Amino acid sequence: MNEARPAVDIFLVRHAEAAASYECASDPGLSALGVEQARAAARDLQARVGSGTRLLSSPLARARDTAAPLAAVLGTPVRVDEAFREIPSPVPLVQRKRWLRQFMRQDWRDQPPDLCQWRDSAWQRLLQLCEPAVVYTHFLLINAVVGRLLGRSETLCFWPDNASITHLRHTGTRLELVALGQEMRTAVN
């Protein structure tokens, strides 16, 4: 007899504001505002998660730095997980902004296999989680997950703000969207 796994909450947190834009630096930490945003997200999450919550992060500094305040409060280490990395870019850093803008106007059915694999790896990793988790990640990865949950083919489904918290629930067999995080009022920097 198979026992059903209990439902668990998973929170996808977009990293807080970076100290530099993505066409200027490949791995910036947080700006002063970003540090405050990370602290505010930690306060919000502290009221929603328990001590057994797993903290996972993209390997990039802005995501790890956003995770640090909650990790300190919970006394829980942050585990870096490559599945939650920023979207891989096929162009040099100085061309990345133009490439991203073009990508965000496209559909997933038009993407090359490596980008579909990036999206599928994150999806599969989320399905493997069997305990509550907070995942610190990036704008387009959150979009990839939300788009799949909503059955949408667009690469851009919504505009999660810096340090926004998107709430998912793993029912034991599938993922459900509980609530989108706060959306941006201006364009991605």
Residue 185 lies in a domain: no
Residue 119, pLDDT > 90, answer yes
The structure tokens listed for 39 are: 């602290």
Prediction pTM value: 0.93
Q: Please tell me whether residue 103 adopts helix, strand or coil conformation.
A: helix
Confidence of residue 92 (pLDDT cuts 50, 70, 90): confident
**Total count of domains within the chain:** 1
Beta-strand relationship, 78-80 and 165-170: unpaired
Q: Tell me: the pLDDT tens digits for 66-78?
A: 999 999 999 999 9
CATH number, domain with residue 140: 3.40.50.1240
Confidence of residue 1 (pLDDT cuts 50, 70, 90): very low
The CA-atom distances, in angstroms, between 137 and each of 6, 79, 109 are: 25, 12, 23
Beta-strand relationship, 54-57 and 133-137: parallel
pLDDT at 94: 85
Is residue 33 within a helix (H) or strand (E), and if so which, with residue range?
helix 32-46
Q: Containing domain of residue 126, as a range? A: 8-179
Q: Tell me: the pLDDT tens digits for 2-56?
A: 556 788 999 999 999 999 876 677 788 899 999 999 999 999 999 999 888 999 9
